């Protein structure tokens, strides 16, 4: 049966390459991916998927579903298609979207024989305000058995971990005054931000080594001779697990309040982007994907790499079994979020990787649908880790 899936990928691979190249040439930022969404959903509709757009109140998010008449597991492939400002598809989301769509279309062609359903979820704004977060919170994955996505990289890596992350903003309000003539009448909001940074730097010695705290001053005054009445700091705070991250964020927030007390400023704390949970790879599902990729690719597949980044796929992994492996563009040292990475996606090697990724995803979906013991093992592992 897998030979049939391979034949289906062969039939559609030229179209997948065309779609990926189109996305490369027409990059759209997060939550603005209207044409990108249209491209992918129109193609899925051509293959008899039922399309719903604008889910979870995100205009460029979508759900596309193909159901067979035979009951069985539901496989979800997650599609990303947002680009980076100034870089375009330097993270290869043009490939991610087309690999997931290709896998779903190929698998749909044999569902009449094996049963089950396949879903493609279009997930906007992974780079900034990931739609997988509200999808996880609002029950989009409730009737789905497993979720898969594969990300391009310099080389292939097994699915691994990611850090939980909160994006926290600290906005201080003070009182403006002439900095030379009447400084005593001012309340310097910028001084609060400076003390916040000093406090965070002191905290670094007293957190575990996985924690990352990095921030900027997004507002700090308008003129040197005016006491700043408003100053804003934005931080990404990360940790290996959500529970410990919450503790760290509480400590940073206490520091922020202390900085306000030192100057007399008023503090407002908010989240300026959605929070990401840590990725929990389902190892059983990961091994299944790795074995499928190994059978069709002669590239080495490395153990999961240590990651200090954060992905909204982490939120998905908290609610259903999920994986987020990397498939190699066969250029060791190629750095993501660069123009060089984007350019690699539209080369012959990039096109070959799209076909391989789509096939490995589709074959993994086939295994989950047809092997009841495999699905039970996947479910058991998920329950034991949560």
CB contact set of 224 (below 8 Å; sequence gap of 6+): 179
Report which of 66, 44, 46 is spatially closest to residue 122, judged by C-alpha positions: 44
Nearest in space to 71 (alpha carbons), one of 117, 107, 106 = 117
pLDDT tens, position by position, 3-56: 999 999 999 999 999 999 999 999 999 999 999 999 999 999 999 999 999 999
User: Which strands, in side-by-side order, build the sheet including 322-323?
Assistant: 50-53, 62-67, 117-122, 74-79, 146-148, 322-323
- Starting at the edge strand found earlier in the chain, the sheet holding 266-271 runs 212-219, 230-239, 164-173, 266-271
Q: Does domain 164-271 have CATH number 3.40.109.10?
A: no
* 6 CB burial (10 A radius; 0-12, 13-18, 19+): middle
Tokens of 272: 């300026």
Chain position carrying tokens 């400590």:
251
**157-199 confidence digits (pLDDT tens):** 999 999 999 999 999 999 999 999 999 999 999 999 999 999 9
Sheet with 156-157, edge to edge strand ranges = 151-153, 326-328, 156-157, 301-302
| Inter-residue contact 78 to 148 (CB < 8 Å) | yes
Please give the Cα distance from 355 to 357 (Å, whole number). Answer: 6
| For the chain, domain boundaries | 2-162+277-385, 164-271
pLDDT for residue 1: 87
Assigned fold of 2-162+277-385: Aminopeptidase (3.40.630)
Taking only the tens place, the pLDDT of each residue in 229-274 is 999 999 999 999 999 999 999 999 999 999 999 999 999 999 999 9
Q: What is the pLDDT of residues 294-311, one digit of tens each?
A: 999 999 999 997 788 899
Question: CA–CA separation, 368 vs 317, rounded Å?
Answer: 17
* Beta carbons of 79 and 358 less than 8 angstroms apart: no
Give the Cα separation of 40 and 46 in Å (integer).
Answer: 10
Both tokens of 75, joined, read 């496989």
Distances (CA, A) of 231 to 48, 175, 215: 53, 11, 13
From residue 195, give the alpha-carbon distance in Å to each of 228, 248, 259, 261. Answer: 15, 17, 5, 10
E strands, 266-385, are 266-271, 301-302, 322-323, 326-328
CA dihedral over 44, 46, 49, 54, signed as positive or negative: positive
State pLDDT tens for residues 51-104. 999 999 999 999 999 999 999 999 999 999 999 999 999 999 999 999 999 999
**Residues 256, 258, 264, 268, CA torsion sign:** positive
């Amino acid at each position: 049966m897998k030979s049939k899936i391979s034949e289906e990928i062969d039939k559609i691979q030229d179209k997948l390459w065309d779609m990926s190249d189109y996305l490369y040439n027409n990059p759209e930022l997060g939550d603005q991916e209207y044409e990108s969404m249209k491209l992918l959903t129109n193609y899925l509709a051509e293959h008899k998927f039922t399309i719903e757009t604008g889910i979870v109140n995100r205009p460029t998010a979508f759900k596309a579903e193909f159901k067979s008449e035979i009951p069985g597991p539901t496989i979800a492939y997650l599609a990303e298609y947002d680009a980076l400002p100034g870089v375009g598809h330097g993270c290869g989301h043009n490939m991610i979207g087309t690999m997931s769509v290709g896998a779903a279309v190929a698998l749909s062609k044999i569902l009449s024989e094996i049963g089950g359903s396949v879903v493609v979820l279009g997930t906007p704004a992974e780079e900034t305000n990931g739609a997988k977060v509200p999808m996880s919170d609002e029950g989009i994955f409730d009737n789905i058995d497993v979720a898969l996505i594969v990300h391009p990289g310099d080389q292939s890596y097994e699915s691994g971990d990611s850090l939980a992350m909160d994006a926290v903003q600290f906005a201080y309000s003070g009182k403006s005054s002439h900095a030379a003539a009447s400084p005593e009448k001012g309340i310097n909001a910028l001084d609060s931000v400076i003390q916040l940074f000093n406090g965070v730097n002191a905290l670094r010695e007293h957190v575990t080594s996985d924690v990352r705290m990095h921030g900027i001053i997004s507002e700090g005054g308008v003129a040197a001779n005016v006491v700043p009445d408003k100053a804003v700091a934005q931080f990404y705070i990360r940790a290996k697990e959500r529970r410990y991250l919450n503790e760290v964020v509480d400590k940073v927030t206490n520091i922020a309040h202390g900085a306000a007390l030192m100057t007399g400023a008023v503090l407002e704390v908010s989240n300026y982007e959605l929070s990401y949970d840590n990725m929990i790879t389902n190892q059983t599902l990961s091994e299944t994907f790795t074995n499928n990729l190994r059978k069709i690719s002669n590239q080495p597949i490395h153990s999961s790499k240590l990651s200090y980044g954060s992905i909204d796929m982490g939120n998905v992994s908290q609610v259903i079994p999920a994986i987020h492996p990397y498939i190699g563009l066969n250029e060791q040292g190629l750095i993501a979020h660069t123009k060089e990475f984007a350019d690699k996606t539209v080369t012959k090697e990039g096109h070959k990787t799209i076909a391989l990724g789509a096939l490995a995803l589709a074959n993994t979906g086939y295994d989950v649908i047809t092997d009841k013991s495999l699905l039970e093992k996947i479910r058991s592992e998920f329950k034991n880790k949560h």
